[in-house]
Structure 1
Amino acid sequence: MKTSRYLNVMTASSRLTAVVFLALAFLLLISPISASETRPGEFNGAIETPHPSWFKESFLDFREDIAEASAEGRRLLLYFWQRGCPYCNQLVTDNLAHPDIAQTVRAHFDLIAINMWGDREVVRVDGQTFSEKTLAAALRVQFTPTLLFFDESGRIVLRLDGYYPPADFLKAMEYVYLQRENEGSFHNYLMNDRRDETLVKSEVEEWFMQPPYRLNRHIGNVSRPLAVFFERAACSQCDILHRQVMREPLTHQLVKRFDNVLLDAAAQTPVITPSGATTTAARWAKELDINYFPTVVLFDPDGTEIVRAAAAFRTFHMQSLFDYVLTGAYRTQPSLQRYLSTRSEQLREAGYDVDIWSYDLPISFEGQPVSLEKIQAVTGGVAAAGD
């Protein structure tokens, strides 16, 4: 009887040992296979851009640059760029390569390129010394290209955060070289150009709120940030936003987690702002200094503006701006460019392909779209509750 019990114990022990051995062998067998199957995703859309030879070679003392430009009847234009930036490439190849634009820039501006991650020493107008990258940080350069136009006294009279298509870019240069800042803001200059036109949308996405626009009502509802779309009539870039960027499935998933409002920046539509002020769409657009159409202003659930898309953006970057606010990433990463870089690297490490220049498929796996939940599982984002 004792021998039988002993044999039973030994048999059970042997079986347990065998199970453990087989389990360990299985883990050792599958681990390298799993690792090899998770290939890094591709990264597409980055473009290196040689700068035109007529860009000014400077010692980067902006006091001297402004004086030299002024002596020749021109103004200083700083151009912040970074390597691989497709929007910078578009500025150079579409805008500055256009004969009329190139002639206008060369006749009225001294253009100096500043690498937002560069280490060259820069002397600002007030005499303070920076490196290129610390100057970009001090000026809160979040997008490339960023363009700063200076007057003869060293004051920044216009700033463009992001890429402006040729017609919009020409309008901005015209405002500066004609010195219209002495007559009013760039916002007023743009609005006076088409003051009588009214925004008419034949179809509006279902996620936009209907009036009355009481935008302070979402305060305290921690699950819903706010996106305000400012547009104008006859706006080709507005059409691109709605017909291409907003139709991508991932954009749908992100935008639907916001309270969304579409406003005609020229209209007298009544609005109660997130701060509780009673105003109109036109007055609020002026107060916010909206200088590009469409501009999308993103607010956190407390009604604080976090970031705005005030230039022409492709799908990956527009989605990233919404995700930046939705996940609360801005609380721990104030640099939007570092957030974009980290987000892209994390997605690629997980095997997802990233195309920063595609309208249709900015994030994909084996040619198929990827859900918001999978993306945020990789990047650590926490989506706001409730659709």
Structure 2
Amino acid sequence: MVLLKRLAAAFCLLLCTAAAAQSSRAIEIPGWFAESFLDFRDDVRDAAASGRRVMIYFGQDGCPYCKRLMEANFSQRDIADATRRDFVPIALNLWGDRETVWLDGRTRSEKDLAAHLRVQFTPTLLFLDEKGAVALRLNGYQPPPRFRLALAYAAKAKPGGETLAQYLAARPPPQERTIAPAPGVFREAPLALAKGRPTLVLFDARVCDPCAEVHDAFRRPELQAALKSMNAVRVDSEGTRLVTTFTGVKLTEAQFAASSDVSFRPALRFYDADGNEVFRIDGYVRRFHLASSLDYVLSGAYKTQPSFQRYLQARAEREREAGRVVELW
């Protein structure tokens, strides 16, 4: 039975590889990713028997962040070795039709499983522990120094144990850029969240390379114009200033970041005019995706299109049809 499953998985992988080879936008997956029959109950059980955990990768062709993960992260020997040592890595296509069996026993296609798990970004990585619980979820790309920390955490994380934010706080990143927020773009004081129109809260840190890049992007006129239509608040995730939440509760910046499930910085939280969170970004993001996230919320598109990826595809196509260059990376 095991042999038959392996042969079937290998045949399925061969078909998928052949199909991907026909696309110039295909993302090459490392050959050491597992050949799985995509019954994740079996995958979790088999991984645990070998002293490892399951890592599920959701990606798609043409995704620059997925390409970066494969070429900048998994190409590094120590990252590849740690992944192979501690995890059974399994690749899924965000829009794929292969049949999967999730931990609840239900059969779904890859794309239906992605929708069930509310995958909004590619890459998204789910790390499952020995019992199938999600030990860590990474929504979006993280550069190698941060990704190494995420792998180490996911290999040992336990329910009710140390959070990723606590783990990261005890392991400061290497020397990074000091942020330089554009003046007048974000509300600095008072830090009070107000209803009445959409709100963006940007959680950053004073020394943080990706944060500095986001602040650079917000210097662009088109992004600043979008921010004028919403309440834009900057919160230092390690800060001590008081933040007044939508419900009137006063928290320090650090407490507010913790209550908002912030681990890696920058993190963006979008709220509607009534103070309800409607969208979030937790991974490394470039200008087009940043601008698209603002439009996704301000236009109200999130109300009718729950898939941010489909919204991105449609927006990129409109931009190209209008003769504008779309720089995804």
**TM-score, normalised with respect to structure 1:** 0.75
2:81 aligned with 1:103: yes
Structure 2 residue aligned with 1:193, among 160, 171, 179?
Answer: 171
Structure 2 residue aligned with 1:228, among 191, 201, 204?
Answer: 201
Aligned pairs for 1:1-387 within 5 A: 47-179=25-157, 183-194=161-172, 204-215=182-193, 218-219=194-195, 221=196, 224-243=197-216, 245-357=217-329
User: Which secondary structure does the structure 2 equivalent of 1:354 belong to?
Assistant: coil
**Alignment partners' CA distance in 2, 1:57 and 1:264:** 43
Deviates more, 1:274-283 or 1:155-164: 274-283
**Alignment partners' CA distance in 2, 1:228 and 1:165:** 22
What code does the residue aligned with 1:322 have? Answer: L
**Alignment partners' CA distance in 2, 1:202 and 1:156:** 36
User: Which secondary structure does the structure 1 equivalent of 2:72 belong to?
Assistant: helix
Once the 2 structures are TM-superposed, how far is the Cα of residue 183 of structure 1 from its aligned partner?
2.7
| 5+ long unaligned stretches in structure 2 | 1-23
What code does the residue aligned with 2:41 have? Answer: R
**Alignment partners' CA distance in 2, 1:112 and 1:332:** 31
User: Which secondary structure does the structure 2 equivalent of 1:168 belong to?
Assistant: helix
**Alignment partners' CA distance in 2, 1:184 and 1:102:** 25
User: Which secondary structure does the structure 1 equivalent of 2:75 belong to?
Assistant: coil
**Alignment partners' CA distance in 2, 1:228 and 1:177:** 31
Change (3 A) 1:204 1:352: closer
| 5+ long unaligned stretches in structure 1 | 1-45, 358-387
Whether the 8 Å contact between 1:191 and 1:266 is mirrored in structure 2 is: no
Whether the 8 Å contact between 2:201 and 2:232 is mirrored in structure 1 is: yes
**Alignment partners' CA distance in 2, 1:86 and 1:225:** 29
Once the 2 structures are TM-superposed, how far is the Cα of residue 130 of structure 1 from its aligned partner?
0.7
Question: Matched residues, percent identical?
Answer: 43
User: Which secondary structure does the structure 1 equivalent of 2:288 belong to?
Assistant: helix
**Alignment partners' CA distance in 1, 2:181 and 2:294:** 22
Whether the 8 Å contact between 1:47 and 1:89 is mirrored in structure 2 is: no
Q: What are the Cα deviations for residues 12-51 of structure 1, in whole angstroms up to 9, with x where unaligned?
A: xxxxxxxxxxxxxxxxxxxxxxxxxxxxxxxxxx943211
What residue is the counterpart of 1:362 in the other structure? none
The number of aligned residues is 304
Whether the 8 Å contact between 2:179 and 2:215 is mirrored in structure 1 is: no
Deviates more, 1:176-185 or 1:315-324: 176-185
Whether the 8 Å contact between 1:175 and 1:181 is mirrored in structure 2 is: no
Whether the 8 Å contact between 1:265 and 1:282 is mirrored in structure 2 is: yes
**Alignment partners' CA distance in 2, 1:136 and 1:205:** 39
What code does the residue aligned with 1:186 have? Answer: L
Whether the 8 Å contact between 1:145 and 1:163 is mirrored in structure 2 is: yes
Whether the 8 Å contact between 2:127 and 2:137 is mirrored in structure 1 is: yes
Q: What are the Cα deviations for residues 296-316 of structure 1, in whole angstroms up to 9, with x where unaligned?
A: 111111111111121111110
Once the 2 structures are TM-superposed, how far is the Cα of residue 203 of structure 1 from its aligned partner?
5.1
User: Which secondary structure does the structure 1 equivalent of 2:214 belong to?
Assistant: helix
Whether the 8 Å contact between 1:121 and 1:132 is mirrored in structure 2 is: yes
Alpha-carbon RMSD across the aligned residues, in angstroms, is 2.0
User: Which secondary structure does the structure 1 equivalent of 2:170 belong to?
Assistant: helix
**Alignment partners' CA distance in 1, 2:69 and 2:178:** 30
Once the 2 structures are TM-superposed, how far is the Cα of residue 226 of structure 1 from its aligned partner?
0.9
**Alignment partners' CA distance in 1, 2:233 and 2:319:** 30
Deviates more, 1:202-211 or 1:110-119: 202-211
Q: What are the Cα deviations for residues 77-101 of structure 1, in whole angstroms up to 9, with x where unaligned?
A: 0000011111000000000001110
- Which structure carries more relative contact order (alpha carbon 8 Å, separation 6+)? 1
